[in-house]
Amino acid sequence: MKPATQRPPYIPKIAYVVPGIVLGLLASTAIGHAGTDDKEITPVTEKSQNSIWTQQYLLGDWGGERTKLEQEGVKFDFNDIGDFLTDVTGSQTHHATYFGRFRASVDLDLKKLADIDAEFFASGIYQYGRNLSGDYLHTNTLTSSIAGEESERIDQIYYKQYLFDHQFAITLGQVAAVNEFGATDFFDILMNDELGYAPNALFSTNQPFSPSGKPGVILWGDLSSITPGLYVKTGAFTAINNPYRPDSNGVYYSNDFNHGATVAAEIGYKEQNTSYDGTYKIGANGNELAVYTNPSTGQGYRGDYNIYGIVEKTVYHPVGADGKLDTKKGLDLLFEFVGEPGDRNALQYEFTTGGRYTGLFPGRPEDKVGFGVIYSDNGDAFSSASQTVSGQGLGGETTLELDYQYNPAPWLSIQPDMQYIIDPAGNSSRDDILVLGLRTIVHF
């Protein structure tokens, strides 16, 4: 143990770490409505690092420095996700597109670094390519959870302070509200935006989303004194007008406060002391912005809201050769519902359900199979407006998804994907669309 009179070891650590963070984020953004989750995409497993095919990261452990830094409270993540998609049926002109997103992030555990019960997180992205759904398909669903507009930007920068022995937390900074209020935890397998990130019906209240974080604050409280695993949280954020313009790099803060505010709240429960994890959430998003109009009657509205409910539950683990449950394998299920007023929104409700099975095939314990169903119902007013203009009212759209994630190395995932869209955009006169895709994920 070092004498108490010596300089605490965390001071030189921070002195070296902070400039590196700034330079790293500036580099990641200088090169460079859907967003995949901004939480770190964890490599599939920790393995002995004897070769490129067994090491956790493509660039290795930096001579042991990466592991040492993480043990001291500094965790870096660099990953690139690429989605190749092509529509092979349907009455629209067919296209093949590629969209990629590189993300660099750093997570500082200030408890380890400076004995402060807090966390600092920052991330930047560079995204590039064409958006199949947004540019060509014109459907309610988005076939890629990362596809948006080409951009290079800061996504999130926030400070999270824990108080009262982790009974309360406050997050302050540039945040992606949808990540905290309504996003799914199935981002590691399902490719469609509604299943792999968040239902489109959530975005009507102008909540900031990844990769377009905006200034905001989130308050979180532990209600375990009532029931272990119970929590509540709420947040307030600057509302998004256009996620990419004029704030093309995520740092045009003076403009962020010109578009009003949006708020969110959630109460949730995480099952405790069980081998079958379960999370249950009910929440709402809303604002008082005077930016909504009934497309059928022209009536204007002040304010909008949506409510959501989420269930994520592990329902099965196989029994291993030792006669015990193998909790690294099994089936997880997802159910989510979002509802909102049909007089001012393109969608009035959306329902998603899906599952992932880890280790289904012998000899492939970390590969995953994913499947999902999305149903989105067009708003009554938008359907009436379509009936007036084109003579065709709009109903619901159904999307089916099936994919398989093959992990040849801890740092590499290869994921073929198939999506089938029935009644695209809720228009029963349109032909169904089959989309084939391939996603790659590389951890550097």
pLDDT digits (tens, 9 = 90+) for 211-248: 999 999 999 999 999 999 999 999 999 998 888 888 88
Cα torsion 155, 373, 184, 327: sign? negative
CA neighbours closer than 13 Å in the CB half-sphere of residue 320? 9
Residue 45's pLDDT band (cuts 50, 70, 90): low
Find out whether 86 and 94 touch, Cβ atoms under 8 Å.
Answer: yes
Is residue 39's pLDDT more than 60?
no
DSSP β-ladder status, 304-316 and 214-222: unpaired
- The overall average pLDDT reported for the chain is 89
Would residue 138 be called left, alpha or beta, if left means φ above 0 and alpha means ψ between -120 and 50 degrees? Answer: left
Residue 136 has pLDDT above 90, yes or no: yes
**274-291 average pLDDT score:** 96
pLDDT band at residue 38 under the 50/70/90 scheme: low
| Structure tokens given for 391 | 């003579």
Evaluate whether 269 touches 279 at the Cβ level (below 8 Å): yes
**Is the torsion defined by CA of 55, 56, 62, 65 positive or negative?**
negative
pLDDT digits (tens, 9 = 90+) for 110-126: 999 999 999 999 999 99
* pLDDT over 50 (residue 3): no
At residue 155 the predicted structure's pLDDT band, cuts being 50, 70 and 90, is very high
Backbone angles phi, psi at 45, to 5 degrees: -165, 170
The CATH number of the structural domain formed by 10-443 is 2.40.160.180
13 phi, psi to nearest 5 deg? -60, -50
Residues 301-350: tens digit of each pLDDT: 999 999 999 999 999 999 999 999 999 999 999 999 999 999 999 999 99
Does the pLDDT of residue 287 top 60, yes or no? yes
Checking if the pLDDT of 294 tops 60, the result is: yes
Tell me the Ramachandran region of residue 62: left when phi exceeds 0, alpha when psi lies from -120 to 50, beta otherwise. Answer: left
Most confident of 29-38, 103-112, 147-156: 103-112
| Mean pLDDT value of segment 421-440 | 96
By DSSP bridging, strand 261-270 and strand 230-238 are antiparallel
Which residues, including other chains, have CB under 8 Å from residue 320's CB and lie 6 or more apart?
A: 326
Its pTM stands at 0.87
pLDDT attached to residue 324? 94
pLDDT at 21 over 70: no
User: What letter does residue 398 receive in the DSSP assignment?
Assistant: E
Q: What is the mean pLDDT of residues 359-372?
A: 95
Q: Judge whether 431 and 91 are in contact, CB under 8 Å.
A: yes
